[in-house]
Structure 1
Amino acid sequence: MNRGRRLLLTGTATWLAAVLAVTGAPVPSAVADSGPGAAQGRVTDTDGNPLPGIVVSFHLAGQLVRQDETDATGTYEVGQLPPDPHYYVEFRDPAGDFATEWYFDRNPADWTYQFVPIEPDETTTLVDTEMEDAATITGRVSSAAGEPIAGVAVSLWLIRGDSASSTRTAQTTDATGRYTIGRLKPATYIVGFYDPATGMQEYWDNGATLLGGTAIALSGGASVTADAVLGGTITNTMAPTISGRPEVGQALTASPGAWTPAGIALTYRWVVGADSDPTDDPTGAVYVPSAADIGKTVRVHVTGTAIGWLPGTALSAPSAPVAPAAVVNVVRPRITGVARVGRTLRVSRGEWEPAAVRRSFQWYVAGRRVNSATARRLVLRSAHLGKQVKVRVRATAADHRPAIVWTRSVRVRR
């Protein structure tokens, strides 16, 4: 806070800018054959008491040029300043009792300067600076599991109406997840948190955007605690599903559904029937049912994990009961022999998967089943003349569904 009358401040800078606009000539930062300038002033508290030990720093274009410390009367004088119209001045209390500010009562978080012009061979007297009691924001950043998060960047934003500007001061949480931002001028702020290790970001208190954060109005000397929890419980927003035919030997594939946040790690566990022991459940995104699963339903249990977040889980709907695998015909049986009246036809066994199958045979003539013709041989009679003959072969195996195939037909000749 500054009170009193300004001397040799922005008027000179404004005049020089006008000259530049008219002449097109650059404004020199120093005058040839002239010496450096100086600046002096006084620093007090809001009651007018002098403040000794305040560091007064003169900056140009972001670089420190000279600085001094106020004496017992609150007075400072900074010399050997190269002439320039664009100095900005910072007032900082090393003890941290008073809020840091820029001349002329500017908040460092506002990023607006009151320039101080320094003339050659002259001492500029600045308006007295009244420093306010410092406010502080402190807190702890932890994961949803309660573990401290070190290395989180903590930023401070000055709020003015519907706009915000960021302070040049940012903190990083220590090994215990704690941070402290001190020497703040009374104002309204929002605190932001960003964890570079995970990319998680929020604004106090649980705001997803800057202006969605909760503003903290600080008065002089106030201390406010703003803890933050980065992350939360991972949430399933669309249930997992299973694709594939629930059959012995046929692969079932898990689809994880949808989760929040994005980019989490997912693991899969398959639950067969009424099994309640997760320790022996198959894992992975694909499961192939075995004969032991016949008649049981299958579900997939999905777990989402991420650093700093509590795990989330979701369970799919059950599949249909697992069916036995079907016997598979590899090589079709065929009719052998001469198809003439009085001759004998035979049917080959064919090849099957699994190999150990039981076969049964039924002969058909002209599409009609021949009674008692269930052996591998058939003697052709005159009644069969000119008709088509074929065989239906049925194969069965343990824990498999039976398979039925037909041979190709042959016509009976004389």
Structure 2
Amino acid sequence: MTEKLMALATREVIRMSHNSAVRPSASAASRRRRAAVRIGMSSLAAATIVGTAFTCLPAAQADHDGHGTGRIHGIVLETGRIIAPGIDVSLYKADGEFVHATVTDSSEGAFAFEGLEPGAYVLWYENQNQAVTEWWQNQPDQASATPIQLSEGQSFQADAYLTDVSENLVKPTITGTATVGSTLTASRGQWFPTVNVNFSYQWLRGNQPIAGATAETYKVTAADAGQTISVRVIAEVQGGTESATSLPTATVPGGQPPVTAVVGTAAPTISGPKVEGSVLTATTGAWTPSDVTVSYQWLRGGQPITGATGSTYTTTSADVGQSLTVRTTASKAGLAAATQASAAHGPITAAPVVVTPPTSVTAPKVSGTARVGGTLSASTGAWGGSQGTYGYQWTKGGKPIAGATGPKLKLAPAHAGASIAVVVTATNAAGATSKASSAVKVAKAPTTLTVKATGGAKQVKVAVKTAGAGKRSGKVKVTVKVGKKTVVKNTTLVAGARTVTVKGLPRGTAKVTVAYLGDSSSAAATKKVTTKVR
């Protein structure tokens, strides 16, 4: 115990060393207060391992740079068992290496460290406003901090209770013989700190306060016969209190025998699968007398589960890796109540991952320029079911286009005038589902027409060239008008070009009109030029 007190007294030096590495320096007044204040902390919950469908409390998140899947989280309460927002929480590896720091949130007093690699970690809590610090599970320094062994994918719950009053290290004790007329003396036990702490006493008869019995000593009376006596020591600092109660004395002899109590003759039992998401059912146990009223309290790792007070309980992700018990309390008017606990049921395992086939929620869509030479792009659409991969197959008139299996399609002359769609296939371990988009109709490619007219003696030489993504085949109509004479010649493009010579023209300005009539994949085009005929 002396070693523990020395460790507690030197904690401030260790905390200030920690602060110099990961915290802004505190004021001189704050440092003086921290040297005089000891915090009490009790773990409110043990480790909690969760499965893949894990739901967390709203908490201050501290993402870690690693690529792990582990998580350490918890809730911090302070004096009076109230939510403690703004508490600094630091995470270290067990070898002393600093990992990350965060602050508890304002609504739940919660914190969480995400993305942790497997390994051993320790936690440090600090309430800078009240100058209180603590290592997890009531440890005074980093060397004695309780390590958290974190495995891959594990979620560990590390709750804490910080008090700025005083912490009871050794329970109070009672000296003297518990008989009527004798005097009992209370020892307050050991606390830290004791400077500026006010201590008071309350004697108890069968766990009920004895009116006026608030001194360090108590004289046993006839009213105590048949009961046990204990003493509660209360530590008070600036209106905040913490208390600790001694073990009870032996029953004070004499007087009437104790009130007859309900007796448990068989403990309750739990039935149901030991898998997350299962419904567990508890029996009442057996009692004498049998006509008692029974209430239930489910426990996880020995700690009560909030709200779990019925005969059935549905396991959650918070139960994974833990064993569950149920505590039944039987009561009847005129009799003292009694409580029995079941054997442990567990550990609870994570629910198996259920893979469901993909289901189409929103059909894929085709976007882009729907004409020859343009590019179409496909969206995957929206899907339900488990995550998977996506494949594409473009279709023309409802039939697959050979080799067109990517998310984009370059439109070729063969696609002109056709209805183009895409079929997206979503695949996962449970199967594959396909869904087609609406079709778009492909327009012909625009044609760029280049015309060069060269005039000569009684003739005009017309050179025609086309450019575009289409095939650029088909007919060309060349019209040459000089004065009142008009000559029309029809020809066919060869490799997208053709030259025509129009003879027998009078002198003057020749107006040349070239009309390309287009083909199955190329749009029509017209061009007008002029030249001189000699």
Q: Given the two structures, how large is their TM-score scaled by the length of structure 1? A: 0.43
Say which structure, 1 or 2, has more relative contact order (CA 8 Å, 6+ apart).
Answer: 1
